[in-house]
Amino acid sequence: MKQKLLTAVTAAVMAAGPALAELKIVDTSYRTGPYAANGIPFSDGYQDYFTLLNERDGGIGGEMINLVECETGYNTEKGVECYEGTKGDDSLVYQPLSTGITYQLIPKASADGIPLHTMGYGRTSAKNGSVFKWVFNYPANYWDGASHAVTHILNQNDGDIGDKTIALVYHNSAYGKEPIRTLEKLSEKHGYDLTLLPVDHPGQEQKSQWLQIRREKPDYVIMWGWGVMNQVAIQEAVNIRFPMENFIGIWWSGSENDVKAAGERADGYKALTFHNLGRDYPVYDDIQEYVVDAGLAAGAGDQIGSVLYNRGMYAAMLAAEAVKTAQEMHGVAAITPEQMRDGMENLEITEEKMAAIGLPNFGPEFTVTCENHGGNGLGAVSQWDAEAGKFELITDYYQSDQEIIQELVKEDSMSFAEENDIELRCD
Amino acid sequence: MPEQLIWGMEVFLNGLMAGVLYALVALGFVLIFKASGIFNFSQGVMALFAALTLVGIMEGQVPFSHLINAAFGTEIHHFGWHVPAVAAILLTMVVMVALAWLVNQLIFRHLVNQEPIILFMATIGLAYFLEGFGDIMWGADIKKLDVGLPQGINSTIDEVTYNIFGYGFFIDNLDLWATAVAALLVIALVIFAQYTKQGRAMRAVADDHQAALSVGISLNFIWVMVWSLAGFVALVAGIMWGTKSGVQFSLSLIALKALPVLMLGGFTSIPGAIVGGLIIGVGEKLFEFIIGPMVGGATENWFAYVLALIFLVFRPQGLFGEKIIERV
């Protein structure tokens, strides 16, 4: 009996042993519900990159990655449940892919000591690392995006947009309202008129907003949408014959899904991005060989190279590089969430590093520091080519207007620190 | 004529068109409620399922391909053919009739004489099942739906109104088609209900299940027929909304637009669904046009419900609904 018990205990310890040493990454995905069409490619990209590292390199620094997927359905309550259900066993980092879930997780993750990476979404002022110790939103945030759109319009008008009108069509939610203050501040600086046009969730009916655009004839329309709101807005813009080249969406309004319903007539539509597009990168050959052809792809393997697959893969790559940084800093392979946070805070992405990974020219260089959790705030503009059936970069990476954005970040984050009695760090 | 008035007329016309689209969804609710007293929570998902099936058939997509490929290691996605829109619509109708039969056989025939709340809960379950089933069957990606309906500004109306008012009205060709289809649909449904044997049987079942059974009307047949009709209406709604936004899973949320229409028009009246839709469409669009700019916009969703509630205060059964009097 004693021997049996000893055998059982030994087996249990052996079974538990490798799991404790693994690098646990949780993918809070949404493959079901109204936003599944966007959640699937992102999650496929996120998971396939980690699978590649496991299959090709034997994990990171000799430690295998234990990837755990949890379905949120883009529902904030389910997202919090996923976090609570998976946060044990040293989950290294969460990428919620939802501004709503992010807002709920910021206090929880901060209390639990688990880093959040909200890449290009979430609470913008989390850029201030002296207030938000556990939250990172590199390489760019919403306010950077608003500034990139205005910079692009400035460039098209020889730097003078004092007589121009810009309309913001936005999802009537915390996410959609994010760019308003930045656009208002930029309006004071550059002199353009700003019209605000909120669209109620989910955004299937936007006739009123587009009739107003048709009447008032703004020179440019900037869109902050998600899901069906994007497809309907682009369709309505086509219907009223709004010039597509003057219609610019945030990066969450710029995937192949968004232009599909409008078809060829969406040709020329523009969207911001903080990374490059397409599948012409060596890393994709490896993903094809080690992941897709081996039957290990997270999805059907048909999303590779799409905008959102690239973004998911990029998010995974940045997480993996943070793991490597943490391993180097602490001299251990099996890092803890706190060490992961250190890795994220000391992350440096250079072109040399990207090329070595198999992603040359895929994204801008950036550095994360204790004070700056948001990276360098670089972004570019892409344009939909209907004939080729893909988005293509049409500009270099723009630097966002740091003079205005830093001020807004400071104001918002300091008020958060005051409300939550947070002691500032990074001195 | 003042500019605001001209614009207001354009908004009014677009409100009418939007109302027709809301009414198309509401009609499906009315048909089932009228015949069986069931508030069909799954009507929006039925529109989604019908549209998914239509695109799947048109594009020659293999149903359950992800499941088949995962189970057998194959790489099958398409049959390699494309089905013309009309044939695909007919085939989708066959699927919707089969669905109606299955729903009746597997769910509602077992729930005869149950409380309305039980039947309502069953339709909630059906909605979630159908959404997941549609996902497994056809995939979650956004699909472009093109059955040949024209979209974009109607040039004739644009020119005529420009000549009269000096400002060309925007009316979407798709909305004009939706209006024509909805008008035909309502006329056909009213004729069916009033002048055919099955239609009269449907009305008899709606009035009193027990009495209808006692004169030899098959409750099962009537319920399958009504769910099939609701499936057809869902298909029409799915085509119109799916053409606008692509066929995607948020299509099921169009049911939210039908609720105030039902509250206003009544749950049992086919013309009520149309009139209710028109009032809601015009009301919300005009409110957004006149009051919206003063309160920051985005008033349409909540104003539709406020408008419906105001009508409810004065006519709890809705504009055209039947007044139910229960005597002790």
Average pLDDT over residues B224-233: 95
Q: Are A384 and A307 in contact (CB under 8 A)?
A: no
Within chain A, what is the greatest distance between any pair of CA atoms? 88
- Residues whose CB is less than 8 angstroms from the CB of residue A77 and which lie 6 or more positions away in sequence, other chains included: none
CB contact under 8 A, B142 and A300: no
Q: Are A119 and A138 in contact (CB under 8 A)?
A: yes
| HEC letters along chain A | CHHHHHHHHHHHHHHHHHHHHCEEEEEEECCCCCCHHHHHHHHHHHHHHHHHHHHHHCCECCECEEEEEEECCCCHHHHHHHHHHHCCCCEEEECCCCHHHHHHHHHHHHHHCCCEECCCCCCHHHHECCCCCCEECCCCCHHHHHHHHHHHHHHHCCCCCCCCEEEEEEECCHHHHCCHHHHHHHHHHHCCEEEEEEECCCCCCCHHHHHHHHHHCCCEEEEECCCHHHHHHHHHHHHCCCCHHHEEECHHHCCHHHHHCCHHHHCCCEEEECCCCCCCCHHHHHHHHHHHCCCCCCCCCCCCCCHHHHHHHHHHHHHHHHHHHHHHHHCCCCCCHHHHHHHHHCCEECHHHHHHHCCCCCCCCEECCCCECCCCCEEEEEEEECCCCEEEECCCCEECCHHHHHHHHHHHHHHHHHHCCCCCCCC
Please list every residue in chain B whose beta carbon sits closer than 8 Å to the beta carbon of residue A235: 151, 244-245
- B245, B247, B303: best to mutate for the A interface, most A CBs within 10 A: B245
| Amino acid at the residue A80 | V
Q: Which of B140, B152, B241 is opposite residue A238, by nearest beta carbon?
A: B152
Kindly report the CATH number that applies to the domain delimited by A142-273+380-404. Answer: 3.40.50.2300
Q: Are B131 and B248 in contact (CB under 8 A)?
A: no
> How far is Cα A258 from Cα B276, in angstroms, rounded to an integer?
32
Q: How many residue contacts between A and B have a Cβ separation below 8 Å?
A: 112
CB contact under 8 A, B144 and A263: yes
- B13, B22, B162, B250: best to mutate for the A interface, most A CBs within 10 A: B250
> How far is Cα A192 from Cα A166, in angstroms, rounded to an integer?
7
CB contact under 8 A, A204 and B297: no
Q: Which residues pair with A178 in a beta bridge?
A: none
Please list every residue in chain B whose beta carbon sits closer than 8 Å to the beta carbon of residue A295: 73
Domain range list for chain A = 7-140+278-373, 142-273+380-404
B116 — contact with chain A (CB < 8 Å)?
Answer: no
In this structure, what token pair is assigned to residue B161?
């109104």
B135 — contact with chain A (CB < 8 Å)?
Answer: yes
> How far is Cα A71 from Cα A298, in angstroms, rounded to an integer?
13
Please list every residue in chain A whose beta carbon sits closer than 8 Å to the beta carbon of residue B144: 260-261, 263
Cis peptide bond N-terminal to B116, omega within 30:
no
Please tell me whether the overall predicted TM-score, pTM, comes out greater than 0.90 for this model: yes
Which is it for the CA torsion A21, A25, A26, A31, positive or negative? Answer: negative
Kindly report the CATH number that applies to the domain delimited by A7-140+278-373. Answer: 3.40.50.2300
CA B34 from centroid of its chain's CA atoms: 15
ipTM of the complex: 0.91
> For residue B172, what is the nearest residue in chain A, using CA coordinates?
A239
- The C-alpha angle with vertex B40 and arms to B37 and B46, in degrees rounded to 5, equals 145
B252 — contact with chain A (CB < 8 Å)?
Answer: yes
CB contact under 8 A, B297 and A196: yes
In this structure, what token pair is assigned to residue A213?
């655009």
In this structure, what token pair is assigned to residue B328?
């002790």
Please list every residue in chain B whose beta carbon sits closer than 8 Å to the beta carbon of residue A257: 141-142, 246
Please list every residue in chain A whose beta carbon sits closer than 8 Å to the beta carbon of residue B241: 204
pLDDT beyond 70 at B51: yes
Q: Is A193 exposed, middle or buried (0-12, 13-18, 19+ CB in 10 A)?
A: middle
Please list every residue in chain B whose beta carbon sits closer than 8 Å to the beta carbon of residue A261: 142, 144, 244-246
In this structure, what token pair is assigned to residue A49?
């990159």
Please list every residue in chain B whose beta carbon sits closer than 8 Å to the beta carbon of residue A31: 140
What is chain B's alpha carbon radius of gyration, rounded to the nearest angstrom?
A: 21
| Amino acid at the residue A378 | L
pLDDT beyond 90 at B209: no
> How far is Cα A391 from Cα B327, in angstroms, rounded to an integer?
67
Q: What is the mean pLDDT of chain B?
A: 92
- B133, B145, B239, B244: best to mutate for the A interface, most A CBs within 10 A: B244
Please list every residue in chain A whose beta carbon sits closer than 8 Å to the beta carbon of residue B142: 37, 231, 257, 260-261
> How far is Cα B198 from Cα B226, in angstroms, rounded to an integer?
10
Q: Is A254 exposed, middle or buried (0-12, 13-18, 19+ CB in 10 A)?
A: buried
In this structure, what token pair is assigned to residue A369?
């520091």
pLDDT in tens, chain A (427 residues): 445 544 554 444 444 444 446 899 999 999 988 899 999 999 999 999 999 999 999 999 999 999 999 999 999 999 999 999 999 878 999 999 999 999 999 999 999 999 999 999 999 999 999 999 999 999 999 999 999 999 999 999 999 999 999 999 999 998 999 999 999 999 999 999 999 999 998 999 999 999 999 999 999 999 999 999 999 999 999 999 999 999 999 999 999 999 988 989 999 999 999 999 999 999 999 999 999 999 999 988 889 999 999 999 999 999 999 999 999 999 999 999 999 999 999 999 999 999 999 999 999 999 999 999 999 999 999 999 999 999 999 999 999 999 999 999 999 999 999 999 999 999 7
Cis peptide bond N-terminal to B63, omega within 30:
no
Q: Are B22 and B229 in contact (CB under 8 A)?
A: no
Residue B2 falls in which region: left (phi positive, over 0), alpha (psi -120 to 50) or beta: beta
Residue B311 pLDDT class (50, 70, 90 cuts): confident
Q: How far is CA A169 from CA A74, A97, A220, A226, in A?
A: 22, 21, 11, 11
Residue A284 falls in which region: left (phi positive, over 0), alpha (psi -120 to 50) or beta: alpha
B151 — contact with chain A (CB < 8 Å)?
Answer: yes
Q: Which of B135, B152, B153 is opposite residue A32, by nearest beta carbon?
A: B135
- State the angle between helix axes of B3-36 and B270-290 in degrees (0 to 180), rounded to the nearest 10: 150
In this structure, what token pair is assigned to residue A7?
């055998």
Q: Are A166 and A183 in contact (CB under 8 A)?
A: yes
Q: Which of A196, A205, A240 is opposite residue B153, by nearest beta carbon?
A: A240
Minimal CA–CA distance to A358: which of A279, A276, A284, A277? A284
Q: Are B262 and B23 in contact (CB under 8 A)?
A: no
CB contact under 8 A, A208 and B73: no
The pLDDT assigned to B116 comes to: 87
Q: Do domains A7-140+278-373 and A142-273+380-404 have the same CATH topology?
A: yes
pLDDT beyond 70 at B216: yes
- The C-alpha angle with vertex B254 and arms to B37 and A230, in degrees rounded to 5, equals 170
Q: Which of B10, B142, B297 is opposite residue A211, by nearest beta carbon?
A: B10
Minimal CA–CA distance to B245: which of B2, B74, B55, B10? B55
CB contact under 8 A, A239 and B153: yes
CA trace torsion A364, A369, A372, A373 (10° rounding): 70
